[in-house]
Amino acid sequence: MPNTEPMTQRVELATVMDRLAVDGVVTDYAVAVDDGDWEAYRGLFTPDGRADYRSAGGIEGGAGSVAAWLAESLEAFPVRQHLIVNRRVRFGVLERDAGDTALVQADYVSPMGFAAAGGGPAAPGPVSGGRCSFGLLRTEDGWRLREVVVREKWRRSPQGAQAAAGG
């Protein structure tokens, strides 16, 4: 009987490497939004990649138009820290795909802050939470986002934040 252990180990190693790479893309997504690095944000997507922020009061569209909307709408909150946790990763190959696919569902908490006068600590801003779905595709350049769907479940604004934000 042939020994399949080395083959099994290679498949398991490849799966671990894919899981780490996919996790890295999700982390890079959060960091790009937090840092306002919209070029990096756009670079995480496939050419036809889309994002949907409608449940959080935003827009749905291609990565470029969504990046422009995020840049404008997040300008009031220079302090951002997206925490993406409870990541559930599933891999698969779809019939019509050019390569492997991954789906990540993860919960998020997103505290934001207003700029402080005189360079002090940021004034507390709104905090929201929910779940993101990330659809990824393996490309020649590595794993890329094909779709991001944000499903906001809750939002809390500190006293005065609504007034400061014009709400």
Q: Which CATH class is domain 5-164?
A: alpha beta
Region 100-107: mean pLDDT is 95
| Span of 81-90, 139-148, 154-163 with lowest mean pLDDT | 154-163
Q: Supply the pLDDT for residue 4.
A: 56
pLDDT digits (tens, 9 = 90+) for 17-68: 999 999 999 999 999 999 999 999 999 999 999 999 999 999 999 999 999 9
pLDDT tier, 5 (very low <50, low <70, confident <90, very high otherwise): low
* Residue scoring higher pLDDT (155 or 8): 155
56-63: list long-range contacts, CB under 8 Å, 24+ apart. Answer: 56/128, 56/130, 56/150, 56/152, 56/155, 57/152, 58/150, 63/145
Beta-bridge mates of residue 60? 52
